[in-house]
Homo-oligomer: A and B are copies of this chain.
Amino acid sequence: MAAETGKGGAGLSEIQSEIFQAFATYVALLMLKMMVLSYFVISERILKGQFVVREDYEGFGDPQMSKEEIRIKTASRDLYIERIRRCHRNDLENIIPFVLVAVVYILFTNPTTESAILHIRIFAAARIFHTVAYLLPLPQPCRFLAFLVGSLATISMAIRVIYEGKF
């Protein structure tokens, strides 16, 4: 593995340093994109008066609602809010593993700048398109292909790490 070629492991090579500078920006961008979904859920909940716990109705809901109305509304689901929540969960399931795999891929497999940046840009583009496809929504297989491309970028890096790895 890469670090073995150095003297005692320390430090990043210039190539790794260059890759990490671009990587850092994409990490921040993808995390912002993901966190925006939280605010989208909150604004939809307030606009529609559709909450999931009692104190939210008391704090943000219609003050005229009876306990029985609150109970019924809490048990119901708004389809579009559930859609945003699914989109958010899908981001968690895909973007977080990408970030962690990319870090070990950059540090331990000595990729070229081109190869690493390509993986990162393809993943970022695929996930931004995935969010658009989920929230509009676009007809399938748009969302599926966006998931697939992002997922394959991560899997490609993970397999490279395992292939060069030790257990």
Which residue of B29, B97, B107 is within 8 Å of A34 (Cβ)? B97
Contact at B12–A93, with CB atoms within 8 Å? no
Q: A13-B8, A93-B92, A101-B28 given as contacts; is B155 within 8 A of A20 (CB)?
A: no
Q: Decide if A67 is an interface residue (CB 8 Å cutoff).
A: no
Copies in the complex: 3
A contact residues, range:
35 or more
Interface residues of A (CB under 8 A from B): 1, 3-4, 6, 8-14, 16-18, 20-29, 31-32, 34-35, 38-39, 42, 52-56, 58-60, 82-83, 86, 88, 92-94, 96-97, 99-101, 104-105, 107-108, 137-141, 143-144, 147, 151, 154-155, 157-159, 161-162, 165-167
The 6 closest A-B CB pairs, nearest first, are A59-B140, A9-B17, A10-B11, A25-B165, A24-B104, A28-B161
